[in-house]
């Protein structure tokens, strides 16, 4: 499954988040307007679609997690820095959300390792959590963070360091610095 984020720019505001299969994405991708920018994350399982005309989804700061819509115990988390740059997308369970709030750090649930994942435990590139936001429908969560070092395990400040053109070619985004692993 892919996570697709619609945004009014990069940096920008979130318009929508949807989960879909690769074939669904390929069908949708063919219908996107020509002036849309498409950014692919490092693991190629999250796609950021950017266009300045996309409307902004209203987000609210949350302090409890009642009303969030977990699927199989997990909820998508979009992580942005204080300037609004999309850094990454991951998943959290209730425990990782509660720990993130308590410790003021970006803490997630690793689906591949089936365990909690504190961003920066091995790399030292931590995320100081400033706010937790969610849309009214509780379908996803946004961590607003102060990123120290690279958010991406590949060593880039953001996981969205490649833009994909209509032919499928992926090119580095010069505005996203490589900081080292």
Confidence of residue 100 (pLDDT cuts 50, 70, 90): very high
Q: What are phi and psi of 174, to 5 degrees?
A: -60, -25
The per-residue pLDDT for 168 is 86
What's the confidence (pLDDT) of residue 103? 97
Q: In sequence order, what are the beta bridge partners of 128?
A: 105, 146
Does the domain formed by 2-165 have CATH 3.40.50.300?
Answer: no
Per-residue pLDDT at 164: 93
C-alpha–C-alpha distance, residues 49 and 51, integer Å: 7
Asked whether residue 181 carries a pLDDT value surpassing 80, the answer given is no
**Each residue's pLDDT tens digit, 121-171:** 888 999 999 999 999 999 999 999 999 999 999 999 999 999 998 888 999
The C-alpha atoms of residue 133 and residue 78 are separated, in whole angstroms, by: 10
Angle formed at CA 80 by CA 155 and CA 110, multiple of 5 degrees: 65
In our burial notation (b when 16+ CB lie closer than 10 A, e otherwise), range 6-33 reads: bbbebbbbbbebeeeeeeeeeeebeeee
Question: pLDDT by residue (tens digit) across 7-31?
Answer: 999 999 999 999 999 999 999 988 8
Q: How many residues are recorded in the chain?
A: 181
User: Which residues lie across from 78 on neighbouring strands?
Assistant: 89, 142
> How far is Cα 133 from Cα 142, in angstroms, rounded to an integer?
5
């Amino acid at each position: 499954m892919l996570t697709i984020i619609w945004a009014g720019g990069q940096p920008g505001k979130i318009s929508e988040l949807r989960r879909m299969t690769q074939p669904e994405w390929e069908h949708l991708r063919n219908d996107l307007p020509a002036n849309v920018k498409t950014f692919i994350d490092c693991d190629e399982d999250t796609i950021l679609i950017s266009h300045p005309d996309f409307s902004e989804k209203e987000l609210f700061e949350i302090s409890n997690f009642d009303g969030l819509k977990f699927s199989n115990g997990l909820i998508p988390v979009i992580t942005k820095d204080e300037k609004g740059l999309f850094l990454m997308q991951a998943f959290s369970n209730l425990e990782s959300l509660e720990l993130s709030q308590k410790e003021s750090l970006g803490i997630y649930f690793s689906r591949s390792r089936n365990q909690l994942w504190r961003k920066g435990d091995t790399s030292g590139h931590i995320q100081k959590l400033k706010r937790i936001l969610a849309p009214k429908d509780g379908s996803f969560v946004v961590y607003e963070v102060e990123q120290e070092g690279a958010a991406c395990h590949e060593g880039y400040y953001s996981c969205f360091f490649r833009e994909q053109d209509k032919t499928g070619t992926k090119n580095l985004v010069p505005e996203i610095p490589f900081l080292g692993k």
